[in-house]
């Protein structure tokens, strides 16, 4: 009994230390967003005080210099559209792969799994060239690119969850006269809610914070938030650190709110998706 209590206390301390380590960078960024840019480099860990506190000046400067509102709009459009497309198409694909037993679906499944192994850097240049040739280098085209890159993990997670759904439910829907599409959208898709939200959260966090893919495909013409923040870099390596910290805080807020709103579904979706049918 005493040994168990000791283990629990040690576990709590370890988790507490890890929590502080993970939260510390965010708190440091927030603190520095309220300080003058000359104080950030000299005293980055010092709390704001009467000497270095500048209020919302960094936020105003950042919004003015980066065009943050427009960048927020493009990030929001690309992220929301991409996640909707990813969840819809990968869930349908996973359902087809799971329920239709053939060599084609088996090979298709392994191709999706294999795509998770291929590093982005290996296909970066060829993907950019192909996207330019077929005119996917725009805010709509990048949604298709995101679908391709996220399909492997998303299909893998959906397949695990679909296997746990009793086939009798779908057979009953077919007996009642439902077509395959009606069976999926009226019966299967509502059951997939936990794993759908899990997939949506993981992809939202990735796409919202992604810098490299938007930079390669749409560049400065349709700036997303990560690209807009980089424009705070001036000539000869000068950086407006105050404005950059302020914009990082504004970029973090939406994704943090979204994550805490939906976090209860993550573990539920992953655990349910691990069940083998």
**Does 265 score more than 80 pLDDT?**
no
Across the range 226-232, mean pLDDT stands at: 85
**Does 75 score more than 70 pLDDT?**
yes
Q: Could you read off the pLDDT of 172-227 as tens digits, one per residue?
A: 888 888 888 899 999 999 999 888 988 998 899 899 999 889 988 887 778 899 88
Dig out the tokens for 203 from the structure: 């992809």
Q: What is the pLDDT of residue 268?
A: 62
- Measured CA to CA, the distance from residue 231 to residue 54 in angstroms comes to 22
Q: Could you read off the pLDDT of 10-65 as tens digits, one per residue?
A: 988 999 999 889 888 889 989 988 888 788 878 888 888 888 888 888 898 888 88
**195 CB-contact burial (10 Å; exposed 0-12 / middle 13-18 / buried 19+):** buried
Q: According to the CATH classification, is domain 66-273 in 1.10.3720.10?
A: yes
- Measured CA to CA, the distance from residue 75 to residue 83 in angstroms comes to 12
**Does 126 score more than 60 pLDDT?**
yes
Buried b (16+ CB within 10 A) or exposed e, 123-136: eeeebbeebeeeeb
Q: What is the pLDDT of residue 234?
A: 63
Binning pLDDT at 50, 70 and 90, where does residue 275 land?
Answer: very low
The pTM assigned to this predicted structure is 0.85
- Measured CA to CA, the distance from residue 110 to residue 156 in angstroms comes to 9
| Phi, psi (deg, nearest 5) at residue 274 | -85, -10
């Amino acid at each position: 009994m005493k040994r168990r209590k000791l283990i629990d206390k040690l576990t709590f301390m370890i988790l507490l230390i890890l929590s502080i380590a993970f939260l510390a960078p965010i708190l440091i960024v927030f603190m520095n967003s309220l300080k003058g840019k000359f104080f950030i480099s000299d005293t980055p860990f010092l709390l704001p005080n009467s000497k270095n506190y500048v209020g919302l000046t960094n936020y105003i400067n950042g919004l003015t210099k980066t065009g943050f509102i427009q960048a927020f709009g493009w990030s929001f459009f690309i992220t929301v559209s991409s996640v909707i497309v990813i969840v819809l198409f990968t869930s349908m694909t996973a359902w087809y792969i799971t329920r239709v037993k053939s060599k084609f679906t088996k090979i298709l499944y392994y191709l999706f799994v294999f795509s998770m192994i291929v590093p982005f850097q290996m296909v970066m240049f060829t993907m950019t060239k192909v996207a330019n040739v077929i005119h996917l280098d725009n805010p709509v085209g990048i949604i298709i690119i995101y679908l391709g890159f996220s399909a492997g993990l998303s299909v893998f997670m959906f397949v695990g969850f679909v296997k746990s759904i009793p086939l009798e439910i779908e057979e009953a829907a077919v007996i009642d006269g439902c077509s395959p599409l009606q069976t999926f959208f009226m019966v299967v898709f509502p059951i997939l809610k936990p794993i759908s939200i899990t997939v949506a959260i993981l992809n939202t966090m990735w796409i919202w914070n992604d810098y490299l893919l938007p930079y390669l495909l749409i560049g400065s013409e349709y700036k997303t938030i990560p690209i807009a923040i980089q424009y705070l870099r001036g000539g000869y390596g000068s950086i407006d650190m105050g404005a950059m910290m302020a914009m990082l805080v504004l970029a973090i807020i939406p994704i943090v709110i979204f994550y805490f709103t939906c976090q209860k579904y993550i573990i539920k979706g992953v655990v349910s998706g691990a069940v083998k049918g």
